Structures are given as C-alpha cells and as structure tokens.
Amino acid sequence: MKKRILVSGGAGYIGSHVSVELIEAGYEVVVADNMSNCDTTGIEGVRKITGRTDIPLVEMDFCDAAAVERLFDDYPIDAVIHFAAFKAVGESVAEPIKYYRNNLTSFLNVLDAARNHGGCDVLFSSSATVYGEAEQLPVTERSPRLPATSPYGNTKQICEDMLRDVTASDPSIRGIALRYFNPIGAHPSALIGELPRGVPNNLIPYITQTAIGKRACLSIFGNDYPTEDGTCLRDYIDIVDLAQAHVAAVTRMLEGRMKEGYEIFNIGTGRPVSVSELVTEFERVNGLKLNYRFAERRPGDVTAIWADTALANEELGWRAKRTLAETLASAWAWEKHLAGE
C-alpha cells in the first residue's frame, strides 16, 4: 500500500513542486492549504503534470486546531511536509505578531495532531535564515544559529526547536528539518512555478515580471555590501532539485534510515551568486535587457550566505544537478506561460 504524505501549504510554489516529485516517486499526496497566498493554479498544474486528477485539495487553516485534527481523522497520514507559513522577511519585520501567531501556531497544531494520531514522520521546511549573518562561509549544519535578523527567521529557529523537542520526547514522531537556501525557477513543463500575489517579495518573480512588462523597473536592494560587486551573495537552487531533496528526506524517514530521531540538512548548491550576477545571467540566457536600478538595503537581509551540502549529498544521496542557466530559462518560460505566450 502506498504511503500517504500530507503537504501543508501544498498549493504554493514549493509545495506544488514537491507534490509532483512525491507522486512521481510513488507516494500518495494530500494537499492542504488556506489559499491565503496562492490560488488553484499550482494544484491544477500538479494534476496536469502527473495525470492524477484525484489529488485532494483540502482548503483549511492550520492555525485551526480542530480543522487539523479533522484532517488527520479523514486521511491516515504517514508523513507530513510542513510548508504552511508566512514567508516575507520584510513584512515580518513590520508585522512580527502576525508571523509569530501564524507560523508557530500552525506547526504546533501539526505536531499535536501527529501525536494524537499515533505519531508520524514530520519534515519541516526550514531556511538558511536560521544562520543569520554567518561568521564563516559556507555554512554547515554545525554552524551556529546566530540571532535571527527577522521575525520570519526567528519563527524558523523556534519551529526547529519545537520539532527537536517533540521528537526527543515522543519516539513515535521522527523529524527532519531541511534548511534551504534560495529556491528559484519553475518546473520544466512550465505548468507550475512561482506565482506571488501583489508585489513580489522574491527576486526572480520581480525579474521575470519586469522582463515581460508587468513591472516598469527592477529594484536591487543595496549595492554597498562588502562583496565584490556590492550586492548580496546567495545560494540559488533550482526548485525541482529542491523538491527532490524533500522526497529523499521523506523516504529516509519512512524507511527507518535516520541515525537520530531528529536530523538537519542544508539544501543548496554550494555556489554563491551575487544579485547582480543573477540579473546579468538572466539577461544572457534569455536574450533580454532588464530595466533595473539600485535601491536602499532591505531590512533583515544578510550580506552573504551559501551552503556546504556535503551532509545532504552523503546521507540523503541527493545533490543539486541543474545549472543556473537552465533554472533561469525555466523561470522565463513560466512567466511567458502565465502571459499566454
């Protein structure tokens, strides 16, 4: 019998790509989402790519404990991948209470329901933001978690601690936190990709929307950082590579191959790329010229962060495969698909 994976927040950008890879790896998937930051485009794309028109989409809020309990009653769950969270760094600085209430409560409810239903494996969607302004680069899983530079980053640290403590207290729950870096790009089919509501908080949608004419100008936040070209350094990872890391981690849990009840893995490419370099490469790959300007630094942004991925490569048997050029081409193909081109 196929194992069933609950993907919370699964109608969004990362969740939809992970759902595709889970299904293609032979898992059953239940998608649950409150649809606060997405529409049905993602789940419809997942159904088209996989040919599975029967993938359930449960519209619910993970901050509603009773609704989470009902979800676990309705579907026997072998593992949960938890994405349901607010995720804009700048907004979290302006509205910390909103972020703490949503991100912590939703995950607490998942852990509580897992325990109340006899336990299951839990994969938490964490982030490189937990490393803060790292003193040594690249960061490994043993690098210190420095004070978060935003409430968003702090919620990731707190949720990691919640999962660590719950797995230590209850052997029926095993957990993995994947700390990923900067997911970009789209599925090669161009049927799913990043679809922000309103003004994008992430760089690539802003680039593609500027390229297609939805936005007049791309703002690059800060060109006075202590880096070679003055812009921030990030580890940009293809969304399909990232999704496949989730499959590897879930399989590790379900097959009982974990070395401890709680594990952490960095998911990135290990290669730092500056914001300016990314913009230039997008122009080169897609034969375009972008209208962009430099703006003030954005609150909560760190100067540089990139991953040491040796642990994930070795233990998960996973590594990032796609080139930056392939990823940026897929992002542009997705934007053109949205525009009906």
Catalytic residue list contains 262? no
The residue among 187, 320, 251, 240 whose CA lies nearest residue 25 is 251
Q: Which residues pair with 264 in a beta bridge?
A: 177
Gyration radius of the chain's alpha carbons: 19
Q: Reduced to 3 states, what is the DSSP secondary structure of residue 79?
A: strand
Burial of residue 281 (CB within 10 Å: 0-12, 13-18, 19+) is: middle
- CA 90 vs. chain centroid, Å, equals 17
Rounded CA separation 112/157 (Å): 19
CB-based contact 302:149 (threshold 8 Å): yes
* C-alpha dist (Å) from residue 59 to 67, 84, 177: 10, 12, 25
Residues 6+ apart with CB under 8 A from 179: 126, 127, 128, 130, 131, 141, 264, 265, 266, 267, 307
Both tokens of residue 126?
A: 């964490």
Catalytic hit among 152, 180, 206, 225: 152
Q: Which of 297, 250, 25 is nearest to 125 (CA)?
A: 250
E strand or H helix that includes residue 177: strand 174-180
CA distances, 213 to each of 197, 200, 205, 206, 217 (Å) = 16, 14, 12, 10, 9
Catalytic residue numbers read: 152
